[in-house]
Structure 1
Amino acid sequence: MSKNGPLALAFNALVITFMLAPLVVVCIVAFTPENTLTIPTTHFSLRWFKAVFAHPDFMQSFWNSLWLALASATIATLLAVPAGMAITRYAFPGRDFLNGLFLSPLIIPHLVLGVALLRLFALVGGTGSFGWLVMAHALIVTPYTLRLVVAALVGFDRSAEQAALSLGASQATVFRRITLPMILPGVTGGWLLSFINSFDEVTMSIFVTSPSTVTLPVRMYMYATESIDPLMAAVSALMVAVTAIAMVVLDRVYGLDRVLVGRR
């Protein structure tokens, strides 16, 4: 049977429906005018979205998550670009170890990372610090940026760089005017992917946040333990919208197929 036969298409449709159905239901419930988690049957209302923007704790947590994601994604990119260039361009002792070290957060459960970082922050006196929280998030999102940077550098034609060097350009000039513009889609895509993962991170953040640095996912988790009402659905719908917009930008800049395959 052809891979694109009716059964294969039906199976793919069922899988997509199974994955998207909870998100669709949550987004619909967010527009309910009722006080309980119900699908609106008479009319749609923006009542709970207004309540989100009027809730000071949620708004503060949103800004915490936004600045945290911006900072951690930027730090991850600054680390991933030179690391990716070293890994792909030079053969040196420990190169495989370095690559594995940068990618290791992908295989370590975030629960384990959260407990370990909580102990580390307690030892160095960094508990509750926003700066240390940024470093923690940069640790877990750097692998995503590194993978896309490495993918952009694999098979990179260095003839333009060599020509510029032969004409007297410095290494810094070559990187700024030739190398970086040519790998910019991969760098930008890696930054966006890191931003998305940092903004949505909850498991590790539960352990390392403080009352003044609570992120939006952690605030949602805390709120859900106390009350379940459509406010949670409205916040979830807004997070889905932010993530979807970032994914669209990522697809336009780099291409989701390259992200999933991991090569150009």
Structure 2
Amino acid sequence: MTRNGPLAITFNGLFVAFMLAPLVVVIWMSFTPENLLVLPTTSLSLRWFYAILDNQQFINALGMSIMLGLIAATGAILLAVPAALALSRYRFPGRDGLVAFFLSPLIIPHVVLGVAFLRFFTQVGVSGSFIALIGSHILIIFPYGLRLVLASLTTADPAIERAAVSLGATNWTMFRRILLPMIIPGVAGGWMISFIQSFDEVTMTVFVATPSSMTLPVRMYHYIEESIDPLVASVSTVVIFGTFLLMFIVDRVYGLDRTLVGPGK
């Protein structure tokens, strides 16, 4: 086993500090007793966390984001699993082009997608509806679920599936009792990443959401246009710790290494 030298350790430490510094500053500012976004220097306070409970708009937006994320992530995974099965188990003309098409939302700017969705949903008469939000979010988070399910399928031995079918199992039985348990970490990881991406999405959602269907990131975006108090920092802190809690639960249940990377061979 090779050891990292002082230069590598220093570089890694600086990189981690660079990544964590913004989160630390936001969390620290959320405990300020002042009326402005400043770092607390004399005392800490939960004032702005209690203020969240008094702001019904943020509470409604949080509920909207959670419900939208749950539905969109579930819908994306339900589409990603059969798509990944077809792409990994079959070879057909246009397969590579289809893969590129499925992954294209990763490279198209979300501003462009937002304008396109706004135009399309206005034409079909569902602009600003919850259905429009679900459809647009499923499209942009679908590639994340697809990539993780595909990664899990590459580690699943097709010979096991053929053996089950040769012993009399139907395709559905083989999938439910053999293939799905093997790829469930990837499915769980894809669902988790899809949920987080849906929950955090703001650029595209600004074009699709309305005051009656506003998600939490969009509400925070509009709030900081009008106010500079630390309420938005306290909401951000709640979201940060909620994300850490979700990742901790997944790590305890499946393991983040198996969920996000896949089982080692």
TM-score by length of 2: 0.93
- 8 Å CA contact 2:36–2:229 kept in 1: the answer is yes
Amino acid across the alignment from 2:256: G
* Pairwise CA distance, 1:251: 4.2
Amino acid across the alignment from 2:133: L
- 8 Å CA contact 2:62–2:215 kept in 1: the answer is yes
* Pairwise CA distance, 1:127: 0.5
Partner residue of 1:232? 232
Matches within 5 A, 1:88-99: 88-99=88-99
Q: Note closer, same or farther for the CA distance 1:262–1:184 as it changes in structure 2 (3 Å cut).
A: closer
Write the deviation string for residues 16-61 of structure 1: whole angstroms up to 9, x where unpaired: 1122111101101111112112222232211111111221000000
- 8 Å CA contact 1:48–1:230 kept in 2: the answer is yes
Partner residue of 1:201? 201
Q: Secondary structure at the match of 1:178?
A: helix
Q: Note closer, same or farther for the CA distance 1:263–1:214 as it changes in structure 2 (3 Å cut).
A: farther
Partner residue of 2:27? 27
- 8 Å CA contact 1:128–1:210 kept in 2: the answer is yes
* Pairwise CA distance, 1:183: 0.5
Partner residue of 2:159? 159
**Is 1:255 paired with 2:221?**
no
Matches within 5 A, 1:77-226: 77-226=77-226
- How many residue pairs match? The answer is 263
Which region of structure 1 is more displaced relative to structure 2, 66-75 or 44-53?
A: 44-53
Matches within 5 A, 1:52-63: 52-63=52-63
Amino acid across the alignment from 1:136: S
Q: Note closer, same or farther for the CA distance 1:216–1:114 as it changes in structure 2 (3 Å cut).
A: same
Amino acid across the alignment from 1:88: S
Identity of aligned residues (%): 56
Amino acid across the alignment from 1:255: L
| Distance of 1:122 and 1:175 partners within structure 2 | 40
| Distance of 2:87 and 2:10 partners within structure 1 | 43
| Distance of 1:257 and 1:172 partners within structure 2 | 25
* Pairwise CA distance, 1:254: 4.9
| Distance of 1:40 and 1:262 partners within structure 2 | 44
What value does the CA root-mean-square deviation take over the aligned residues? 1.9
Write the deviation string for residues 108-138 of structure 1: whole angstroms up to 9, x where unpaired: 0111111111111111111011011111001
| Distance of 2:202 and 2:141 partners within structure 1 | 13
Amino acid across the alignment from 1:248: F
| Distance of 2:169 and 2:258 partners within structure 1 | 35
- 8 Å CA contact 1:148–1:262 kept in 2: the answer is no
Amino acid across the alignment from 1:122: T
- 8 Å CA contact 1:31–1:40 kept in 2: the answer is yes
- 8 Å CA contact 1:64–1:213 kept in 2: the answer is yes
User: Which consecutive aligned stretches of 4+ in structure 1 deviate over 4 angstroms post-superposition?
Assistant: 260-264
Amino acid across the alignment from 2:100: G
TM-score by length of 1: 0.94
* Pairwise CA distance, 1:158: 2.6
- 8 Å CA contact 2:113–2:204 kept in 1: the answer is yes
| Distance of 1:41 and 1:89 partners within structure 2 | 59
* Pairwise CA distance, 1:103: 0.4
| Distance of 2:135 and 2:256 partners within structure 1 | 28
- 8 Å CA contact 1:32–1:39 kept in 2: the answer is yes
Partner residue of 1:11? 11
- 8 Å CA contact 2:186–2:258 kept in 1: the answer is no
Q: Note closer, same or farther for the CA distance 1:186–1:23 as it changes in structure 2 (3 Å cut).
A: same
Structure 1 unmatched runs, 5+: none
Q: Secondary structure at the match of 2:131?
A: helix
Which region of structure 1 is more displaced relative to structure 2, 176-185 or 165-174?
A: 165-174
* Pairwise CA distance, 1:96: 1.1
